Amino acid sequence: MTSAGIAPGKIVAVHLNYPSRAAQRGRTPANPSYFLKPASSIGTSGGTVERPDGAELLAFEGEIALVIGEPARRVSPADGWRHVASVTAANDFGLYDLRTADKGSNVRSKGGDGFTPLGPELIDAASVDPAGLRVRTWVNGRLVQDDTSATLLFPFGQLVADLSQLMTLETGDVILTGTPAGSSVVVPGDVVEVEVDAPDAPGAPSSGRLVTTVTAGDVPFGDFGAKPAVDDAQRIEAWGDARAAGLAERDPGPEQAPEPAFELTDELRELLGSVGTATLSVQLRKRGYTDVFFEGVRPNRPGARIVGRARTLRLIPFRPDLFQRKGGGFNAQKLVFDTVEPGEVIVIEARGERGTGTVGDVLALRAQVRGAAGIVTDGGTRDFDVVAALDIPTFSQGPHPSVLGRRHVPWQTDVAISCGGAAVEPGDVVVGDGDGVIVIPPALAWDVAREAAAQEHEDAWVAEQVAAGASVDGLFPMNAEWRGRYEAATGSGTRSEADR
């Protein structure tokens, strides 16, 4: 017997089954596909998993494991669940370093000793709704995966039926049903915990925490087989994205080095924050950028200002089947709020729909804790007074008490979006104040900021003259006579771009 009393003859694992994971991979399968893991890979809760000497990319995958009860052969999808005796937590560890050697079989990349810990407790399948299970994963105490079986591309009954068309699923066999978004790389010393539960079932049964500690191997690979080998493509896939893999700013070398990457420095951030969006929009309009203003979007708190780089979230119109697929668990909305980086501004495309909230108190607080520079949505704000009172500045079309699912499906992150009629790409510069919010292409940010600051300096001098009784005729804008007075008074010998 093994973990939680499970002694499978075979372990069958599903490649992709959660929409959130499929979105990360950039492909959604029309049908389930599988691979086998050896029974010797099973581990127990409280055990260890070794990252072999010479390997770099050991990744975890929290999953719901099905344990077969009554043998299944050529059963229907409607009857498939009846052949599941119990469910529990699983961690489908894998070494991306050996994927190339495996040619898709995953024999070595996912078949190592301890690479399939299960348990610690079994949940009676008859006591739970197969669409009501939740899987969560923590790394060093931080929640990194959170999804439910309600979102699956291929429900449990379908998996059992599909496999049983060609093979008999025998008592004790295990089916690993796929992992949601959030899988990533772990290193020696990390502690990974996975839990499966049914929070809405009577008694809220749980598998308990399946705990695994990563250790470092000290025995090198021999010369009689393929050795670990990785490239940047594997690193990005293992970590989840280029940024997490440390490749976002990678230097390709002097022969093919691109232009220096744009950086929103503290100096530029301060300069942009010192001028108004009205002045910035004038400078952008001079350059042909007339649709950079987020129509209808205003600060939730008077005096709020934001400057940061855009982190985007796209919401699409509500449709029940799409919301069932992508609205639950660790969806795109939760993902962007849980992974926003310090200094970034979360920008939400809500299509100008004011009839529901697109951000509430908990997610706004999470963005604040993460160090985000602000939140912008062309939809509504839920828990408006609480959100407005937070330190993080929030801009929206105003309050609305309804939840996201009334009008929206959280669909994609980190893609080009439209917010308030303005096109926004990830990484664009976003500036907001009492007049509203604008977007600035990064390549223009320095020039626009400098010339906006010069324009405001001139405008402040003009305001002083008006306050002293001067007429605006010839002063605003300045004619040659007033220009000469300005240059003499301020020591400026050149005209600003605003007057050329």
Residue 431: both structure tokens together? 């500036």
pTM over 0.75: no
Element of type H or E holding 487:
helix 480-490
Q: Are strands 210-216 and 47-51 parallel, antiparallel or unpaired?
A: parallel
Q: For 26-82, give the DSSP string.
A: T---SS--EEEE-GGGEE-TTEEEEE-TT---EE--EEEEEEE-S-BSS--HHHHGG
CB 362 within 8 A of CB 338: no
The full set of domains in the chain, from first to last, is 3-239 (3.90.850.10), 290-440 (3.50.30.40), 459-499 (no CATH)
CB 149 within 8 A of CB 167: no
Q: What is the pLDDT of residue 8?
A: 86
Measured CA to CA, the distance from residue 440 to residue 271 in angstroms comes to 14
Q: Which long-range contacts (CB under 8 A, 24 or more apart) does 232-235 make?
A: 234/57, 234/96, 234/97, 234/99, 234/100, 235/56, 235/57, 235/96
Q: Which of 343, 341, 342, 323 is nearest to 331 (CA)?
A: 323
Whether the bond between 188 and the residue before it is cis, its omega within 30 degrees of 0, is no
Q: What is the pLDDT of residue 498?
A: 39
Q: For residue 204, with 0-12 CB atoms within 10 Å meaning exposed, 13-18 middle and 19 or more buried, which class applies?
A: exposed
> 397: number of CA atoms within 13 Å, CB side?
22
Query: Per residue of the chain (500 residues), what is the pLDDT tens digit?
Result: 345 667 789 999 999 999 888 887 777 888 999 999 999 999 999 999 999 998 999 999 999 999 999 999 999 999 999 999 999 999 999 999 988 777 668 898 999 999 999 999 999 999 999 999 999 999 999 999 999 999 999 999 999 999 999 999 999 999 999 999 999 999 999 999 999 999 999 999 999 999 999 999 888 888 777 778 888 888 888 887 777 777 765 444 444 444 457 889 999 999 999 999 999 999 998 888 988 999 999 999 999 999 999 999 999 999 999 998 888 888 999 999 999 999 999 999 999 999 999 999 999 999 999 999 999 999 999 999 999 999 999 999 999 999 988 999 999 999 999 999 999 999 999 999 999 999 999 989 999 999 999 888 888 888 998 999 989 888 887 888 888 888 888 776 544 433 43
CB 441 within 8 A of CB 289: yes
Q: What is the pLDDT of residue 244?
A: 78
Element of type H or E holding 452:
helix 445-467
Q: What residue spans of 81-175 are helical by DSSP H?
A: 99-102, 156-164
Measured CA to CA, the distance from residue 321 to residue 151 in angstroms comes to 10
> Position 98: which residue type?
L
Measured CA to CA, the distance from residue 175 to residue 164 in angstroms comes to 12
- Please count the other Cβ atoms lying within 10 Å of the Cβ belonging to residue 366: 16
Measured CA to CA, the distance from residue 52 to residue 185 in angstroms comes to 14
Tokens 């209808």 -> residue: 296
Tokens 């080095």 -> residue: 257
> 229: number of CA atoms within 13 Å, CB side?
8
Cα 151 to its chain centre, rounded Å, is: 17
Residue 409: both structure tokens together? 């499906």
Measured CA to CA, the distance from residue 314 to residue 419 in angstroms comes to 9
CB 177 within 8 A of CB 12: no
Q: Is the dihedral of CA 263, 428, 344, 291 positive or negative?
A: positive
CB 147 within 8 A of CB 71: no
Measured CA to CA, the distance from residue 431 to residue 283 in angstroms comes to 14
> Position 423: which residue type?
A
Cα 108 to its chain centre, rounded Å, is: 30
Q: Which of 215, 205, 373 is nearest to 305 (CA)?
A: 373
Angle of the 480-490 helix axis to the 445-467 helix axis, nearest 10:
100
Residue 3: both structure tokens together? 């973990």
Q: Which of 491, 152, 205 is nearest to 329 (CA)?
A: 152
The DSSP code for 312 is E
283 contacts: CB under 8 Å, gap ≥ 6? 447, 448, 451, 452, 455, 497, 498
Q: For 388-432, give the DSSP string.
A: HHSSS-EEES-B--S-GGGTEEEEEESS-EEETTEEE-TT-EEEE
Q: What residue spans of 292-423 are helical by DSSP H?
A: 320-326, 332-339, 361-370, 384-389
Q: What is the pLDDT of residue 499?
A: 40
